[in-house]
């Protein structure tokens, strides 16, 4: 009885017979089957849901960046085209059954951007050619040194050249431009010097390999450049432009959140959070920018970019934008912290801080417009002057703080009868001083970005904006701008400072 009543740890049916002395446990016969089936079903469902999620992700990526889906189709097309060489007998005989190399070239060389494809094509061609020539030379030397020493000479040459070429891939100058070429060099040299020992048809082999590589690379370049080309230069240009817009949005968002949070706490939604976090993309964009600039240098003239477009200048602009992003990161954390200045101070400072941040973000947005339209802006200098003016106003506000407030050791801000005199403990002005100084620092960094963009505009020969066009955009973008006289006044002031 005692044993029977012990719980079995599973599903069970128990019947109590009315006389109350015995109870019988009904163990289902198919219990273990049920368990196995449930476990299996769980596994299958889990597996299917993972696959489903994967496809969902893939689909959303394809919708978000259709260029990437198109790239897949382009690779498929190029491969189908190159495999035609196999089916067409005359062509097939022409390259001597080595059409395999053409297929391989297409798969290995076809990259997302035209620049990367060109880089790999040139690398592959140069690497193959150099290694082939060197391989033939080494073969000749090995042949001269007698049958006994031939394999030794070949082995030593493979060892030394492979070691040297592999090490050279760590040297930054080589790594940036000829990494793939060095690998192809090692590959071809090893194949030529090793297979030559057997094949004895080295010249023919070299000729076939070069011609199949030529077929593969030209197919890749044509497909890459003719159907929806993705230019690394273009991507870099828009990456930098987008980064400017993201920084501007984040800067605005930070300040609005800090000063506006009291008024409307619930206004902060997911979207605004996303905008606020935009600067995070800028923090880690260095590697992408460098890769893009590297590939852009291989690209011919395309769209609005010349062959020798100053791509390195983009890296400089990117570096300054990143410095802004570091500061915005610090600002974002500090505006999110719990320590807050008293309301009276916040009210007093909010207009200066928001004015500076909106001037700063306007400058960033104008930089984005300059980049987008590739025209020099006539009003960027004015905007920078305005920004500097806002900096000065904020500094004045900080100075006047000592006039308007008597800072003592009292624990809270007490508004006195006199409207402009408030007693605020020093500790409570710390957040506002901190945020103001960060904003001033951000403005300084934005000014450096402006200089970098100006440098880029000169080197890339951006067009001069016509006065009419500029006025039109000016009115569209900034309807609340001060009048021209006022602006000139500001300009004079700022110039005197400078």
Considering only residues 9 to 68 of the shown chain, the ones binding its own copies according to CB under 8 A are 54, 57-58, 61-62, 65, 68
Least CB distance from residue 69 to its own copies, whole Å?
6
Which one of 103, 125, 215, 230 is in contact with its own copies (CB under 8 A)? 103
Least CB distance from residue 376 to its own copies, whole Å?
29
- Between CA 160 and CA 443 the distance in angstroms is 55
Cβ-based nearer residue to its own copies, 37 or 47? 47
Least CB distance from residue 63 to its own copies, whole Å?
12
Tell me which residues in 142-171 interact with its own copies (CB under 8 A): 151, 154-155, 158-168, 170-171
Least CB distance from residue 178 to its own copies, whole Å?
12
Cβ-based nearer residue to its own copies, 44 or 61? 61
Least CB distance from residue 166 to its own copies, whole Å?
4
| Cα–Cα nearest to 327, from 260, 290, 365, 282 | 282
Tell me which residues in 302-341 interact with its own copies (CB under 8 A): 323, 326-327, 329-330, 333-334
- Between CA 180 and CA 119 the distance in angstroms is 9
Q: Work out whether 271 is an interface residue with its own copies (CB under 8 A).
A: no
Burial 191-204 (b: 16+ CB within 10 A, else e): bbbeebeeeeebee
Cβ-based nearer residue to its own copies, 182 or 457? 182
Q: Work out whether 427 is an interface residue with its own copies (CB under 8 A).
A: yes
Cβ-based nearer residue to its own copies, 190 or 241? 190
Local structure of 415: helix, strand or coil = strand
In contact, 194 and 158? CB cutoff 8 Å: yes
Q: Which stretch binds its own copies (CB under 8 A): 382-390, 404-412, 481-489, 490-498?
A: 404-412
- Between CA 171 and CA 179 the distance in angstroms is 9
Query: Which CB contacts under 8 angstroms, 24+ apart, belong to 36-42?
Result: none
Cβ-based nearer residue to its own copies, 186 or 296? 186
Q: Binding mask 196-215 vs its own copies (x if CB under 8 A, - otherwise)?
A: -xx-----------------
Whole-Å CA distances, 293 to 76, 109, 232, 452:
27, 19, 7, 16
Cβ-based nearer residue to its own copies, 62 or 225? 62
Cβ-based nearer residue to its own copies, 3 or 89? 89
Least CB distance from residue 359 to its own copies, whole Å?
20
**What is the β-pairing status of strands 463-464 and 422-423?**
unpaired
- Between CA 465 and CA 450 the distance in angstroms is 17
- Between CA 331 and CA 424 the distance in angstroms is 23
Cβ-based nearer residue to its own copies, 249 or 328? 328
Least CB distance from residue 365 to its own copies, whole Å?
23
In contact, 118 and 221? CB cutoff 8 Å: yes
DSSP string, 285-343: -HHHHHHHHHHHTT---BTTB-TT--HHHHHHHHHHHHHHHHHHHHHHHHHHSS----H
Cβ-based nearer residue to its own copies, 304 or 448? 448
In contact, 366 and 383? CB cutoff 8 Å: yes
Tell me which residues in 71-90 interact with its own copies (CB under 8 A): 71-73, 75-77, 79-80, 83-84, 86-87
Cβ-based nearer residue to its own copies, 108 or 202? 108
Least CB distance from residue 458 to its own copies, whole Å?
26
Which one of 407, 413, 451, 478 is in contact with its own copies (CB under 8 A)? 407
Q: Binding mask 172-191 vs its own copies (x if CB under 8 A, - otherwise)?
A: -x---------x--xx--xx
In contact, 447 and 359? CB cutoff 8 Å: no
Residue that the structure tokens 């934005």 belong to: 446
Q: Work out whether 195 is an interface residue with its own copies (CB under 8 A).
A: yes
Cβ-based nearer residue to its own copies, 68 or 201? 68
Burial 228-248 (b: 16+ CB within 10 A, else e): ebbbbbbbbbebbbbbbbbbb
Number of residues in contact with its own copies under rule CB under 8 A: 86
Tell me which residues in 106-125 interact with its own copies (CB under 8 A): 107-108
Residue that the structure tokens 């993705």 belong to: 230
């Amino acid at each position: 009885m005692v044993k029977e009543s012990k719980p079995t740890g599973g599903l069970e049916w128990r019947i109590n017979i009315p006389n109350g002395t015995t109870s019988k446990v009904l163990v289902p016969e198919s219990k273990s089957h049920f368990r196995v089936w449930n476990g299996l079903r769980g596994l299958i469902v889990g597996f299917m849901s993972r696959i489903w999620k994967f496809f969902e992700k893939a689909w959303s990526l394809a919708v978000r960046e259709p260029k990437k889906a198109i790239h897949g189709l382009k690779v498929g097309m190029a491969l189908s085209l190159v495999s035609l060489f196999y089916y067409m007998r005359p062509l097939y005989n022409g390259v001597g059954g080595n059409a395999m190399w053409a297929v391989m070239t297409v798969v290995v060389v076809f990259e997302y951007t035209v620049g990367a494809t060109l880089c790999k094509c040139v690398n592959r061609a140069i690497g193959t050619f150099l290694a082939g020539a060197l391989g033939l030379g080494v073969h000749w030397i090995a042949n001269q040194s007698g049958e006994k020493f031939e394999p030794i000479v070949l082995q030593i040459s493979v060892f030394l050249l492979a070691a040297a070429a592999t090490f050279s891939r760590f040297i930054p100058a080589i790594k940036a431009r000829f990494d793939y070429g060095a690998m192809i060099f090692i590959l071809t040299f090893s194949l030529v010097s090793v297979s030559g020992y057997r094949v004895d048809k080295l010249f023919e082999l070299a000729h076939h390999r070069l011609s199949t590589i030529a077929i593969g690379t030209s197919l890749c370049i044509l497909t890459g450049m003719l159907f929806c080309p993705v230019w690394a230069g273009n991507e870099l240009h828009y990456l930098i432009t987008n980064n400017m817009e993201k920084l501007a949005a984040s800067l605005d968002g930070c300040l609005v959140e800090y000063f506006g949070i009291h008024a409307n706490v619930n206004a902060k939604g997911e979207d605004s959070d996303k905008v606020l976090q935009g600067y995070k993309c800028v923090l880690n964009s260095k590697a992408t920018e460098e890769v893009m600039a590297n590939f852009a240098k291989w690209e011919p003239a395309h769209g609005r970019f010349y062959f020798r477009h100053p791509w390195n200048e983009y890296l400089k602009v990117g570096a300054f934008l990143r410095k802004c992003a570091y500061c915005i990161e610090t600002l974002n954390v500090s505006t999110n912290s719990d320590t807050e200045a008293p309301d009276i101070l916040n009210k007093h400072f909010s207009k200066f801080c928001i004015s500076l941040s909106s001037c700063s973000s306007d400058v960033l947005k104008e930089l984005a417009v300059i980049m987008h339209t590739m025209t020099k802006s006539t009003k960027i200098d004015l905007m920078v002057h305005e920004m500097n003016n806002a900096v000065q106003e904020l500094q004045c506000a900080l100075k006047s703080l000592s006039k308007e407030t008597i800072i003592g050791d009292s624990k809270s801000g007490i508004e006195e009868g006199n409207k402009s005199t408030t007693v605020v403990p020093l500790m409570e002005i710390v957040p506002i001083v901190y945020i103001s100084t960060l904003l001033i620092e951000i403005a300084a960094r934005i000014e450096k970005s402006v200089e970098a963009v100006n440098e880029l505009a000169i080197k890339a020969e951006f067009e001069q904006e016509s006065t009419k066009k500029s006025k039109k955009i000016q009115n569209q973008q900034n309807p609340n701008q001060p009048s021209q006289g006022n602006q000139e006044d500001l300009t004079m002031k700022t110039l005197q400072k400078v």
